[in-house]
Structure 1
Amino acid sequence: MEVIQWTVAAGTALFVALVGFFQWRTAQDKAAFDLFERRHDIFQIVRRAVQQMVSSSPGFDQAREIEFTEMMERAYFFFGDDVHDYLNRLWNDIVDVRTADSEMAGGSLSPTELTEALGRRRKAMSRIEQFYKTGQPLFAKYMRFCRQLW
């Protein structure tokens, strides 16, 4: 009789430990997925900004500017310095393109100033267009799951 009680107690303890382990794994997976979702939201804002700049830079209005700068503040806490540095470079390029656009729209530039503005804009736009070659891989290394969920 005593052997049966010990066997039942050991089986119950093993079952409880197994349930606890699976709850821990589920909590780890949920935390990883929540982190992924927050990082993905940041990535989506960057991608939309790049798409807007490439398709029509004047369409990058003040609302997009605010959204982008707020995203940069959040990204500081979700990504490493490499992504943060990339976002700062991207923001500077966006500002360069928008500044050149507004300078050229004013029509008061001398031919030399116009050439400089166009050159600055072209270089910045070229770096923005490289998002899928340079920026996306930086984000990807933070967003890939290290373990198969299924």
Structure 2
Amino acid sequence: MQTFAALLTPVIAIVAVYIAFAQWTTARRKLALDLFEHRFQFYRNAQAAIRPIIASGKPTMEDEKAYLRVLDEARFLFGTEVYEYLDDVWLAIVNLGSISNELDGLRGEERGAAIKERRREFDKISATERELPKLLDHYMRMDAPVPRTLRQWFDDANRRRKSYQEDASV
């Protein structure tokens, strides 16, 4: 009986380690999925903030507030390149709004120059529809390496062991 109890202790310890590893793996996968879902929701919010500006050609105060919420969130979800790009788009939104407001009072060459500037700013904003998915692509991938299960580890070890036997027989 004492021998059985002595052998049972390591078996229980191995099972406990396996369960802990399985929980750790599951938690890691869930974290990756949660982060993906949060970032994808950010992408949808960014689209929802930009599309009304593109549709109307002039940002409203509500459009600007919605975009600022997106900009604030980007700082914590992505790297600096995404934040800096979105900040440049923010400046284009502000410039587009101010040029649009001043356009009615301008005449002649000033009006022509303002229209060209407005077009440049509008193009920056509308390019977001194409450029943002490219920028976020790296962050949206779920192909990060996932730890192997204990079963996969044993299968790999067994394959290696069998390959050594084949090498020895040659």
Identical positions, percent: 26
CA distance in 1, matches of 2:117, 2:37: 35
- Structure 2 unaligned regions, length at least 5: 147-170
CA-atom RMSD, angstroms?
2.1
Query: CA-to-partner distance for each residue in 1:17-76, whole Å, 9 max, x for gaps?
Result: 111111111221222222223322322222122222222233x42223112212212211
CA distance in 2, matches of 1:67, 1:7: 64
CA distance in 1, matches of 2:145, 2:51: 31
SS of the equivalent of 1:145 reads coil
SS of the equivalent of 1:65 reads helix
Give the structure 1 partner of residue 153 of structure 2.
Answer: none
CA distance in 1, matches of 2:72, 2:42: 10
SS of the equivalent of 1:146 reads coil
The aligned length equals: 146
Question: When the two structures are superposed, what TM-score results if normalisation uses the length of structure 2?
Answer: 0.75
Give the structure 2 partner of residue 146 of structure 1.
Answer: 143
Structure of greater Rg? 2
Matched, 1:121 2:105: no
Give the residue type in structure 2 aligned to 1:141.
Answer: H
CA distance in 1, matches of 2:116, 2:42: 30
Give the structure 1 partner of residue 163 of structure 2.
Answer: none
Give the residue type in structure 2 aligned to 1:24.
Answer: W
Question: When the two structures are superposed, what TM-score results if normalisation uses the length of structure 1?
Answer: 0.83
CA distance in 1, matches of 2:76, 2:91: 20
CA distance in 1, matches of 2:6, 2:143: 40
